[in-house]
Structure 1
Amino acid sequence: MSVHRIRGSSRRGLASATLGFFVGFAGVVLYGPVATEFESAMGLSGLALGLLVGAPQLTGSLLRIPFGAWVDEVGPRKPFLVLLSLSIVGMAGLSVLLVTAYPEGLSMELYPLVFFCGALSGCGIATFSVGTTQTSYWYPKDRQGTVLAVYAGLGNSSPGLFTLLLPIALSALGLTTSYLVWFAFLVLGTVAYAALAVDPPSFQLREQGLDTDEARQRAEAYGQELFPGGDAFASVREAAAIPRTWGLVALFFTSFGGFLALTVWLPSYWTAIHGMGVQAAGALTAIAFTLPAAVLRVPGGYLSDRIGGEVTAVGSFVVVGIAALGLVVTRTYGTALGATVCLAVGIGVANAAVFQLVPKYVPEAVGGASGLVGGLGAFGGFVVPPVLGLFVDSFGESGYASGFVVFVALALVSVALSERLYRTRASVGVDAAAAGE
């Protein structure tokens, strides 16, 4: 009788997933904190600037769906390494461009290449869906909430930290050297993930020659309780056929897409409207918005469990709308800072509330719905910055403030959608399920 061994442990699985996600997710702010450097060097319009700072989110959002599904076929380690490797290629290309062309030669003619390198570098953002699955398969059902909060909370912190660090590095090292250091960090982080990561037990056993059923039975002895549910793309197709899924996608477009968009756009707002330097604008964005919005997902999830995701979503989107309106009408630093903090609170809590609603409203295809909501919702991080840029092109510098009317509109639509979802509770059996518990 052959002996089958399992390498690693649940803690190692969580640690490696969190490390890989932290390394890849930093790509969200590839251009945002130093956008003014690229704007001045290349002579970018508001639209072109918005597209550039959003470039990493293009791949970082859309690749979540296919790579999340691929995990169920081959395990998480291989998809993780492919995404991080693509990010390395993108960062390498950007580094070469900066070494050879910055500053005098970095003209608008190179814009397509700079955009392409940004999009490639953003592939690491898509590790979110891979790491979520890696973490879930290593832990029992009764610990999912805790370990996923640790994974998402620590991994989500990297854009905030890099928003703080990149402007400081720019001041101390210059733009080119700063990105060369980031490139080295990405390579070392990928190597560390490769050395640390191990697939969950069932995938290891399948690799050792066991069929799916036998691998599952033996993996249960090692504590694995969650397993691939068959054809992952079938679940995506099933979820896509349910109208409620698209309502949740729209809500996450505002909340998480908005989180990504504001993380890369706010430094330019603080520089243009309030005359702050690049370093101060990056630090303020991180401290007042990005880090609080990431951390508040945890209490937001708790609040959603206590009072209901629908009520939490309505309240949080109301806060988003009021805060965004404040940024439209005010030019006072103190008021703008308070509005930004309120925006972080609303968006952070809304992110948790929306995902709390997924299993309630799409119980027949939770996995597929989670992929669509997480992937297409995050696409807002690519779509919204160019729209904000159009306000700058139309109204000049004041457009950096008036563009926040986009978030006022998104918040109003999201409040209406949340309230409409609440009215459909009976049709999906939410009340009945709650009564039976």
Structure 2
Amino acid sequence: MAAAPEPRELELTCERMSYGPDAVARDADGKTVFVSGAVAGDRVRAVVDRAGERWDHARATELLDASPDRVAPGCPYAALCGGCPWAALSYPAQARAKRAGVVDALARIGGMGAERAEALVAPLESPSAPWGYRNKVELAVAREGGRVALGMHAAGGDGVVRVKSCALLDKRFAKAVRAVSGALGYLAGSHGLTLERVGVRASSRTREVEVALWDHPGPFPRAQAAKVLTDALSPTSVVRVMQKGPAKARRIAGVECLSGAGSWGERVGEERMRVSAPSFFQVNTAGAEKLVELVLDALRPEPHEEAMDLYCGAGTFTLPLARRAGLVSAVESYGPAVRDLRRNLTAAGLDNVDAVGGDAGREFPDTDADVIVVDPPRAGLSPDVVRRLSEQPARAIAYVSCDPATLARDLARFDEAGTFSPSRVTPMDLFPQTFHVETVTLLERT
């Protein structure tokens, strides 16, 4: 058998951060190399672990010269856990990199060119502290030698890292990770748990804590799970979320309340909301408030106007819109979120919302809206939804996006349709210590 080729070792100077966990460098031939374990400005020795036609990926093995933007991470697990890949980059450098990533996506993918993109993108908004901002963590589950271990996904996605706490979680609940991991690890020793993951939501505003146990339908030690978690953490809610189907197409088969309220409560600005475990809710509550502020400031809905809220979830934008506009048409495709939306509207005493369950394209409201909010998932808007929005007589659209690439693609489609054009793109850092960035784009009639 022929011997395996020697790993290719490089000395690289990292130029910038990618839209991802890695820094970006170029080798001696000018080929792009994505470098894990490095930050922009570092000079490193690295070993290529994946070679491609257009780019390579390498793993930093030695830091030769540290970047002036390199810092000691604020979490002892940062090098092992995949939850905060930019933790070794100073926060001002993170902020610069995130705004630059939005500008780059608009210029390249959106076809706007560097000058127009730079003029459109506002300074980055940072609504929360760089650490301790999350209201939710998810624990991965692994089986090691017949025992169940809970922790964070390891950097690179291979295995689970056991941690005592998560520095991204609100510090008031720092002990929650260890308490939940210990309680369920103990329970698994005497019961055959088939957990896939465990979610912990915690609010410093309402003091509510929910533990969600994600598994499959079948026998489950309901009473024992509720007891060990109550003894360890005193949560206000413990639920079991049962899923069916293949890994990439899971569907919710049911949600059981094991103890407490059966849902989680949070306060966003003036609004009180309840959210069930399967429903999406922004992990950064201060960031969610800032998103609402930016959207309302951009649209300025009036009492005589009609609003539309597509991909509305449990009502983060719907509720404040309904307090300002005369009527709101709200569309959401995910069943648990639709139920949460209707419950939140009832609790708020709002009866001027037409809440529709279904896909935004198939259930596009048959109405003429004056102002529109769209907050789609990472995949962005379908071409049909862009077309339908472009046919609306609305005076403005606020597009909330969590992915600069799909935002840029969709803005190019709006430009092509010729009805609405972006007048301002505001990047927001809802996820410090990571590469993710949220944006609020105001589209106005051309």
State the TM-score, normalized to the length of structure 1.
0.23
Q: With structure 2 as the length reference, what TM-score do the two structures score? A: 0.23
The structure with more helix, counted as a fraction of residues: 1
User: Which structure carries more strand by proportion?
Assistant: 2
Structure of greater relative contact order (alpha carbons < 8 Å, 6+ residues apart): 1
